[in-house]
Amino acid sequence: MAPEPPLLSMSGITKSFPGVRALDGVDLDVQAGEVHCLLGQNGAGKSTLIKVLAGAHQPDTGTIRWRGEEVTLRSPIAAMRLGIATIYQELDLVEHLSVAENVHLGHEPTAAGFVVRGKAARSSTAQLLERLGHPEIDPARLVGDLSAAHQQIVSMARALSHDVRLIVMDEPSAALDPDEVDNLFRIVGDLTSAGVAVVYISHRLEEIRRIGDRVTVLKDGRAVAGGLPAKTTPTRDVVAMMTGRNVEYVFPERPTTDATAGKPLLEVRGLARHGEFEPLDLSVRPGEIVGLAGLVGSGRSEILETIYGARKPSAGHVLVDGRALRPGSVRAAVRAGLGLAPEERKAQALLMLESVTRNVSVSSMSRFSRGGWIDRAAELGAARAATRELSLRPDNPSVPVRTLSGGNQQKAVLARWLLRGCRVLLLDEPTRGVDVGARAELYAVVRRLADEGLAVLLVSSEVPEVLGLADRVLVLREGRVVHTAPARELDEHRVLDLVMEGSPAS
Amino acid sequence: MPELTSRRGLLFGTAAIGAGALLVGCTSNESDDEPAANDQPAADDKPGKAVTIGFAGPQADHGWLNAINDNAKSRAKKYSDVTLEITEGSNDTAAQIGQIETLINKKVDVLVVLPADGKALTQVGLKAMRAGIPVINLDRIFNTPQAYRCWIGGDNYGMGLNAGHYIGEKLKGKSNATVIELAGLDNLELTQQRTKGFDDALKNYPNIKKVARQAAEFTVESGQAKMAQLLQAQSKFDALWNHDDDQGVGALRAIEQAGRDDFLMVGGAGALSAFQAIKKDDGVLKATVLYPPTMAASAIDLARALGQSKGIGGMAEFEIPASVTLYSAVVDKDNVDQYMPTGFK
Amino acid sequence: MTQHASPPRDSTGKVPSAGAAPGWRGLMARADVRTLSLLGVLAALIVIGGITKPDEFLDTRNLQLVLTQGSVIGVVTVGMTFVIISGGIDLSVGAIVALASVWATTVATQEYGFAGILFTAVIVGVGCGLVNGVLIAYGAMVPFIATLAMLASARGLALQITDGKTQIVTVPSVLDLGERDAYVLGIPPLVMVFAVVTIIGWLVLNRTTFGRRSVAVGGNAEAARLAGIDVRRQRLYLYLLSGLCCGIAAFMLVILSGSGQNTNGNLYELDAIAAAIIGGTLLSGGRGTITGSVLGVLIFTTITNIFALNNLQSDVQQIAKGAIIVAAVLVQRRTASTT
């Protein structure tokens, strides 16, 4: 089929870290002009593989061939010189420099070897931005002032400012709105038609269907399938290869008894924050899961954080068991039995340098201490019981929390609140960064906690998740609840219509 | 804000008093000058022409520097014809330059400057001289004689020399005698000069060998720490010279803590606590070499004479000298009573 | 399945190591690599000292001297370690020591004798810590700025109190504590205070909720807040703790030097930060040990001692100190990355 050698050919790549074999003999072929998708659960080895490709990690064994010739990618600069550019998920831009300065960072156009020609840098940046469909971004603006989507565009412009032949994109659509995603796909199309290869990493199968040519699936550091046709391989097969099992019952069944009969545990009355969301009423009963559906910017996370006391409301009250909480006090909320699993787990919930035990026990320290003195055996025992109840893996709470996968880190956060004896659980994007197989398990955990009498308030940007998991759904648009209904009376289509259509009043 | 206004008020008040004194001086004292022995006018205690003296010194964070300020102030108070404009002390070169420029702008008659750093303040000294304000340079010398009319200061080399000679004479006849030195802040030139003088004096005594030297920082804390180490390093020695009586408080503490009394100690500068210990004569400290803070009082005298265009008594010249180097006298049990009033805390 | 594969656990939940490992080896295995590398550096220094000055260095009196000289800055470093672990910094420690020591040695204070001096030193230290803490925790000031301001004003106030004069202590019961007669079983009282502060510091950091909260605030302040920790109150307590350590250190310094002077505690802030850093405390917070910091202090004090015994001058000492900081951090990074 291929008369020429592939643009990139990695074979038998292994890479070990202390205690972990991250890559175990991975092969990857990429042809010029194709979109090669890389799929795999968190911890499957995707990140390590692209870091090897970017020259940031050196493989222990294995060979890399570039246009048929064996090469060693000693450093990111070496990879860049060959024409390999990487756009990381966590954008590596300098916030206090301008767009043009970021794009040309490290290879500024200069006069006499050291005087930066700002004007030249700005005009070439403007050309790149135009090519990327965003001529409205001013090359002179500071990157820190741009939206996440625009920052991504700048990151891409930086990659294209080099003479690239292969671009690695690590979950580029994660921070983007639907129309931004369309623009991204157009750019990918332009690149491939110009003969540039794209290695595309995403959790979203439908994206892979739309733009992918071939798929390589990674699992546990091995390539379980290489070069499958992206458009025709059945979804179920792909998921099965990633998770190693069939995913038929992704969502747990709802209980048959009607929870709406009970007295509300969490009540929100007229809660509002200027400029973020308008006065809101809602109630959650024990055993009930209430979902908030809405797009980015609809005020979902802000609502959750205000209920939790992390933001101070401009009006309204939060009541637990009929008693009003002191507004704007996290401690009051926690004391009343609220627990939050925030959207940004690493930044907002986890102590990354600490063990699972300490992450789990941090909100319940008074339970294992007398006069401030911690009974560490009791602490470990309780942490183990809580993590076992959620089947957290590995089954050793002494390991550092940073070594866990995304799903297990989320379980550590849930175990924290379980141990605290929390009665109202606020979940903000509970499956972000969690792979498909682990999601089902998390859904089951959440449902079980509700069955045990917890009131759960769920926020998610993935409509199927809200519909599948919640009992009742509130649809949000621009900080306002536009519709409330039992989940079984709604479908994805209807919710998307509600979320996107212009409000009748305007 | 109230602080600011009250402070401004205070300044106004001072200025008004100064102006008043000036008037009084002009009207009443012109004719009281008495001819000196050589028929030239020499400055004496009798009121003369009113003189405003600007005084700028470093921050008084050390006993000796504090004594400098006290000496200057009390000397100025003694003369009804002298108004002292004293600035807040500063160790920051830029701040001190600013203060001196303010004094120049106020058109004081004479400036007395003890620079935080002599070399760095040379320019502002030149500026004052060009503006017609004579400068008395106190102790830390400017880079060029053009920047001052008169320099008066201590003799760091002589201090070391006299300390060395005193110890040399005391250990005369003792074969294989050993001495150690506890120096001051090593990054100051004066410390190097003191050490040089000490070493040069010891060359006259072939029976004495300097076996160790550590530098402290003119503070009690560093004196204690460094002395404790020196005592541990040298299980036996005959004499110790400590550059500075302030750090000497710490050094004596370390000596006491180590329970050592088998040597003779000579201090430096002339602190009251050192004089008292010498007088008591129950410890190792037997003498101290002066670096007299009274030089500030002398500087006021010189400035007053300069402002009144007189020479100084006991000298034949019409003018005050261009430089005065003070003698670093050795104070021991025999003459300590005489120096006791000059001892600083 | 994994549950069956995991080894049995004892009651404390620790996985017993294979075979009956002797307690000593078990201890070494648990001690972290950084601590071991610091012990290695200290051992190397002791060898150097022993070779260059066998009689003077390997001597009980010298051991007493090194520990005594390290005890004042050591107590300050314990407090500083807590502050740095919590993601903060306290630049005012040296100035607080100066202010507390001069306030405690004024003529008026000395009239109240031993208790008056001790009480004043501790209260001044805690008071300055309180101001730092309130400014940082509730005034939302950056620790660097707030404690820099405290540095300037405490030094200024100390100068104002002393007027540049050395305040000699005349209370015999205070002075006696610095003399050899006060040694108990050969241990100087100041060293005992240092040891007690170290042990309490270790216990508080590793065994109490206060220690946990400090680490949590330093590791991720936002996560700590959302986990229900009162981050601001914790910060207040941390600067209070640092101030308390400064007050105790000031009293120790008064005993050691027999005086109070406004120049006391000169550059303690840098020495304490340096000792904590070479002890493995992360300047960005979230990680650090009392053991490491104390070893850092002992390493510095031992170097000073060896240099003084060998009659090397302060220029060489300063260069060596800088080199040691760089070397210790490099060695630690290396040992940490290879394991």
pLDDT tens, residue by residue, A137-146: 999 999 888 8
Picking from A181, A412, A360, B248, the residue whose alpha carbon sits closest to that of residue C212 is A360
Q: List pLDDT tens digits, range B130-181.
A: 999 999 999 989 999 999 999 999 999 999 999 999 999 999 989 999 999 9
- Minimal Cα distance from C8: which residue of A? A396
Q: Averaged over B21-30, what is the pLDDT?
A: 39
Cβ distance of C263 and B59 shorter than 8 Å: no
Given the structure tokens 């049995």, which residue do they identify?
C8
Q: What is the pLDDT of residue C74?
A: 98
Find the CB nearest B226 among C262, C265, C308.
C308
CA distance C204 to chain B (A): 30
Task: Report the domain count for chain B.
Answer: 2
Specify burial of residue A315 (Cβ count, 10 A radius: 0-12, 13-18, 19+).
Answer: middle
In angstroms, the separation between the Cα of residue A392 and the nearest Cα of chain C is 11
Residues of C with CB under 8 A from a CB of B: 53, 55-56, 59, 61-62, 65, 68-69, 159, 163-166, 168, 178-180, 253, 256-259, 261-266, 304-305, 308-311, 313-315
Cβ distance of C265 and B221 shorter than 8 Å = yes
Out of 2.30.30, 1.10.3470, 2.60.120, 2.50.20, select the CATH number for domain C54-337: 1.10.3470
Residues B106 and B127 in one domain: yes
- B203: number of Cβ within 10 Å: 10
Distances (CA, A) of B31 to A454, B48, B306: 104, 9, 18
Q: What is the pLDDT of residue B41?
A: 58
Cβ proximity of C335 and C34 under 8 Å? yes
What domain range is B172 assigned to?
156-290
Q: Is the pLDDT of residue C338 over 70?
A: no
Whole-number Å distance between alpha carbons of C293 and C290: 5
Cβ-nearest to C12 among A347, A377, A420: A377
In a domain, B277, yes or no: yes
CA distances C97 to C84, C251, C253, Å, are 18, 9, 8
Q: Give the CA distances from residue B192 to residues A87, B197, B209, B230, B282, in Å, rounded to whole numbers and listed in that order.
A: 61, 9, 18, 19, 31
Residues of chain B with C-beta less than 8 angstroms from the C-beta of C314: 186, 214-215
Per-chain mean pLDDT for chain B = 86
Residue B337 lies in a domain: no
Question: Chain C closest CA to B138's CA: distance in Å?
Answer: 19
* One domain, residues B213 and B148: no
pLDDT at position B291 is 93
**What is the pLDDT at residue A295?**
66
pLDDT of residue C171: 95
Interchain CB distance below 8 Å, C309 and B222: no
A483 pairs with which residues across the strands? A475
Q: Are residues B44 and B132 in the same domain?
A: yes
Evaluate if residue A246 carries a pLDDT over 60: no
Q: Please tell me if residue B232 touches chain C, with a CB cutoff of 8 Å.
A: yes
- CA nearest A239: which of A70, A40, A61? A40
Name, of A134-148, A242-256, A457-471, C148-162, the range with top average pLDDT: C148-162
Residue contact C314–B214, C-beta within 8 A: yes
Taking CA–CA distances from B231, the nearest residue in chain C reads C309
Task: Please report the pLDDT score of residue A260 as a whole number.
Answer: 60
Q: Are residues B164 and B274 in the same domain?
A: yes
pLDDT above 90 (res C16): no
Query: Are B224 and B241 members of one domain?
Result: yes
Nearest chain C residue (CA) to A350: C223
Predicted pLDDT of residue B21: 39
Q: Are residues B42 and B134 in the same domain?
A: yes
Distance (Å) of CA C36 to CA C28, C39, C297? 8, 5, 15
Shortest alpha-carbon distance between residue C103 and chain A (Å): 33
Calculate what percentage of chain A has a pLDDT beyond 70: 90
Residue B73 has a pLDDT of: 92
Q: B319-339: per-residue pLDDT in tens?
A: 899 999 999 999 999 999 999
Q: Report if residue B5 sits inside a domain.
A: no
Q: What is the CATH number of the domain that holds B225?
A: 3.40.50.2300
The verdict on B66 and B113 lying in the same domain is yes
Q: Is residue B343 part of a domain?
A: no
Q: How far apart are CA C327 and CA A411, in angstroms?
A: 41
What is the nearest CA distance from B233 to chain C, expressed in angstroms?
5
- Name the CA dihedral angle for A365, A371, A374, A375, rounded to a multiple of 10 degrees: -110
pLDDT for B152: 95
User: How sure is the predictor about A3, in pLDDT bands with cuts at 50, 70 and 90?
Assistant: low
Q: How far is CA B249 from CA B218, B285, C101, C260, in A?
A: 10, 11, 15, 10
Residue A483: count other Cβ atoms within 10 Å of its Cβ.
Answer: 16
Q: What are phi and psi of C51, to 5 degrees?
A: -75, -45
- For an interface test with B, give the residue of C60, C157, C166, C167 to mutate (most B CBs within 10 A): C166
Same domain for B297 and B273: no
Q: Which of B214, B250, B257 sits opposite C180 (nearest CB)?
A: B257
Q: Where are the alpha helices (DSSP H) in chain C?
A: 2-5, 23-30, 33-52, 54-57, 60-85, 93-103, 107-110, 113-137, 143-162, 172-176, 189-207, 209-219, 221-226, 231-257, 268-278, 290-309, 314-338
Digit-coded pLDDT (tens) for A101-155: 888 887 777 766 667 777 888 888 999 998 888 888 999 999 888 887 788 888 8
Chains B vs A: touching, with 3+ CB pairs under 8 Å? no
CA of C160: which chain B residue's CA is closest? B61
Domain boundaries, chain C: 54-337
Chain B hits for C266, CB-CB cut-off 8 Å, are: 217, 219, 221-222
Q: What is the pLDDT of residues A217-241, one digit of tens each?
A: 887 788 888 888 888 887 767 766 7
Q: Is pLDDT larger for residue A1 or for residue A89?
A: A89
Cα distance from A326 to chain C (closest Cα, Å)?
14
Which chains are adjacent to chain B, needing at least 3 Cβ pairs under 8 Å? C
What tokens appear for C218 in the block?
Answer: 């330093």
Assigned domain for B338 exists: no
Mean residue pLDDT across chain A: 85
C308 and B230: CB-CB below 8 Å?
Answer: yes
**Residue numbers in C near A331 (CB within 8 A):** 228, 230
Same domain for B145 and B161, yes or no, is no
Please indicate, yes or no, whether residues B169 and B255 belong to a single structural domain of this protein.
yes
Phi, psi angles (nearest 5°) of residue A428? -110, 110
- Rounded Cα distance between C217 and C234, Å, is 8
pLDDT greater than 90 at residue A432: no
Q: What percent of chain B clears pLDDT 70, i.e. is strictly above it?
A: 88
Section C153-177 average pLDDT: 92
Cα gap A484→A497, rounded to integer Å: 14
Question: Which of the four pLDDT bands, split at 50, 70 and 90, describes residue A92?
Answer: confident
pLDDT class of C7 with cuts at 50, 70, 90: very low
Q: What is the pLDDT of residue A52?
A: 93
C13 touches chain A (CB under 8 A): yes
Residue-level pLDDT at A227: 83
The pLDDT assigned to A415 comes to 96
Residue A504: band (very low, low, confident or very high) from pLDDT cuts 50, 70, 90? very low
Among C residues 203-242, those touching chain A with beta carbons less than 8 Å apart: 207-210, 212-213, 215-216, 219-220, 222-230
The verdict on a CB contact (< 8 Å) between C263 and B259 is no
Range in B28-42, B202-216, C288-302 with the lowest mean pLDDT:
B28-42
Mean pLDDT to the nearest integer, C207-225: 94
What mean pLDDT comes out for the span B241-255?
95
The nearest alpha carbon in chain B to C253 belongs to B221
- For residue C21, pLDDT over 50 is answered with no
Name which of C12, C210, C225 is nearest A372 (Cβ-Cβ): C210
pLDDT class of A431 with cuts at 50, 70, 90 = confident
Residue C131 structure tokens? 């101001």
A8-17, B58-67, C54-63, C210-219: least confident range: B58-67
User: Closest Cα partner for C97 from C271, C248, C208?
Assistant: C248
d(CA A310, CA A302): 9
Q: What is the pLDDT of residue A258?
A: 62
* Contact C61/A at CB under 8 A: no
pLDDT at residue B8, rounded to an integer: 40
Please give the ipTM for the structure prediction: 0.84
Residue of A501, A462, A410, A503 lying closest to A291 (CA atoms): A462
Cβ pair A18:C339 closer than 8 A: yes
Window 263-302 of B, Cβ < 8 Å to C: 271, 273
Q: Which long-range contacts (CB under 8 A, 24 or more apart) does A230-235 make?
A: A230/A35, A230/A37, A235/A205
Contact status of A330 with chain C (Cβ, < 8 Å): yes
CB-nearest to C6 from A308, A350, A395 is A395
Rounded average pLDDT over C247-265: 95
C284 in reach of chain A (CB within 8 A)? no
**Each residue of C315-335: pLDDT tens digit?**
888 888 888 888 877 876 665
Contact: A348, C219; criterion CB under 8 Å = no
pLDDT at A297: 62
Cβ within 8 Å, pair A349-C339: no
Amino acid at A31: Q
Q: How far apart are CA A392 and CA A382, in angstroms?
A: 14
Question: With a CB-CB cutoff of 8 Å, which residues 125-184 of chain B face chain C?
Answer: none
CA pair distance A20, C224, nearest whole angstrom? 29
Residue A245 touches chain C, beta carbons under 8 Å: no
Residue C11 pLDDT exceeds 60: no
Q: Is B264 helix (H, G, I), strand (E, B) or coil?
A: strand
* pLDDT on residue C335: 58
Distance of CA A47 to the CA centre of its chain: 14
Residue C337: pLDDT band with limits 50, 70, 90:
low
Are the Cβ atoms of A351 and C223 closer than 8 angstroms?
yes
Please name the member of C168, C309, C314 whose beta carbon is closest to the beta carbon of B232: C309
pTM: 0.79
Residue C321 to residue C300: CA distance in whole angstroms: 7
CB atoms within 10 A of CB B335: 13
Size of interface A-C (CB pairs under 8 A): 84
B7 lies in some domain = no
